[in-house]
């Protein structure tokens, strides 16, 4: 008999991640409401939208930092926020890797120590094995040479890669990236895009990325959802390239074509 607690997609399959009628709010201020979408295994899924639409807030809820006011966040059909705190920790620790916008490296620790920290906290590996694995994770992102350096000694792009190595420390199969290209020059951003795709292909990971950097989104994302700050929900679903080329919604087109119109679509194409 099928487990009645497992929520399935319309075709009968169980998506790796799914939001079902999720509402996110801070007190009376609603950020997103009735938000629903699926993230399939192996996808690079983009959460898109203009400033203030709630992209990072959605990500915070998906990684366990903000409980939804309503709705469900499902991890392979299991309701993440309906579980106990201990179960949420187990799911997140074992499956989630997060790269925050500012990399969030501990400034007093070396790069190697930053990468080693999750393994020291959550595994019983000895120091020799932790060092070996830390070097391996850094090698995956081309940063093994920086093992003994401090974050302050690194460029912005190098800090991003070091943060990514730390996100990989516990071998997660789901990676969450919050504005990974923010503050990077175009060449460094392009290299980071290539790295994300290579990690997805090489490790079989699924990636959820919050970004407003259109070149990166067009280059790497194969699916996504577009959030509106006005209606406070998703108004389009598909890859960034698909939305750019085929979505008729004026708000989506304003964003994808870098037009400066009002969020509700009025003033579309009017430059300011």
Q: Which residues in 179-218 are b (16+ Cβ under 10 Å) and which e? A: bbbbebeeebbebbbebbbebbeeeebbbbbbbbbeebbb
Q: What phi, psi does 80 have (nearest 5°)?
A: -60, -45
pLDDT at site 10: 45
Distance (Å, whole) CA 256 – CA 209: 16
- DSSP E strands: which ranges in 146-263? 174-178, 206-210, 223-227, 234-237
Distance (Å, whole) CA 225 – CA 234: 6
Residues 147/111, Cβ–Cβ less than 8 Å:
yes
Q: What phi, psi does 37 have (nearest 5°)?
A: -165, 160
Contacts of 69 (CB under 8 A, 6+ apart): 23, 24, 25
Distance (Å, whole) CA 149 – CA 207: 28
Give CATH for domain 17-256: 3.40.50.300
pLDDT at site 90: 85
For the chain, the average pLDDT equals 88
Task: List pLDDT tens digits, range 186-210.
Answer: 888 898 999 999 989 998 999 999 9
Distance (Å, whole) CA 151 – CA 153: 5
pLDDT at site 205: 94
Q: Would you kindly state where each structural domain of the chain is located, as residue ranges?
A: 17-256
Q: What are 197's two structure tokens?
A: 């795709």
pLDDT at site 113: 96
Task: List pLDDT tens digits, range 241-267.
Answer: 999 999 999 999 999 987 654 444 333
Residue 217's closest CA among 253, 235, 242, 200? Answer: 242
Q: What are 57's two structure tokens?
A: 């807030």
Distance (Å, whole) CA 124 – CA 115: 15
pLDDT at site 6: 36
What angle is formed at CA 170 by the lines to CA 168 and CA 174, rounded to 5 degrees? 60
Average pLDDT over residues 57-76: 94
Contacts of 25 (CB under 8 A, 6+ apart): 31, 69
Of 62-66, 105-109, 181-185, the poorest mean pLDDT is in 181-185
This prediction's pTM: 0.86
Task: List pLDDT tens digits, range 13-52.
Answer: 689 999 999 999 999 999 999 999 999 999 999 999 988 8
How would you class 112 by CB atoms within 10 Å of its CB: exposed for 0-12, middle for 13-18, buried for 19 or more?
buried
């Amino acid at each position: 008999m099928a487990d009645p607690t497992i929520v399935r997609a319309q075709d009968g399959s169980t998506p790796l991640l799914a939001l079902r009628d999720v509402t996110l709010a801070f007190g009376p201020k609603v950020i997103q409401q009735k938000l629903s979408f699926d993230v399939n295994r192996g996808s690079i899924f983009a959460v898109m939208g203009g400033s203030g639409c709630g992209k990072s807030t959605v990500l915070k809820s998906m990684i366990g930092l903000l409980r939804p006011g309503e709705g469900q966040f499902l991890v392979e059909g299991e309701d993440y926020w309906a579980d106990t705190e201990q179960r949420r920790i187990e799911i997140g620790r074992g499956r989630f890797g997060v790269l925050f916008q500012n990399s969030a490296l501990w400034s007093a620790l070396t790069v190697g120590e930053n990468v080693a920290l999750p393994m020291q906290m959550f595994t019983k590996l000895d120091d020799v094995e932790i060092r070996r694995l830390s070097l391996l994770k850094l090698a995956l992102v081309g940063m093994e040479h920086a093992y003994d350096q401090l974050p302050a000694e690194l460029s912005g792009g190098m800090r991003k890669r070091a943060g990514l190595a730390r996100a990989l420390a516990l071998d997660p199969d789901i990676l969450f990236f919050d504005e990974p290209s923010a503050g990077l020059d175009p060449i460094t951003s392009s290299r980071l895009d290539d790295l994300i795709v290579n990690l997805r292909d090489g490790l079989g990971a699924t990636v959820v990325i919050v970004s407003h950097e259109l070149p990166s989104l067009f280059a790497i994302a194969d699916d996504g959802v577009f959030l509106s700050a006005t209606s406070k929900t998703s108004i389009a679903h598909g890859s960034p390239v698909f939305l750019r080329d085929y979505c008729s919604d004026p708000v989506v087109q304003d964003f994808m074509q870098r037009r400066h119109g009002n969020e509700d679509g009025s003033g579309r194409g009017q430059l300011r």
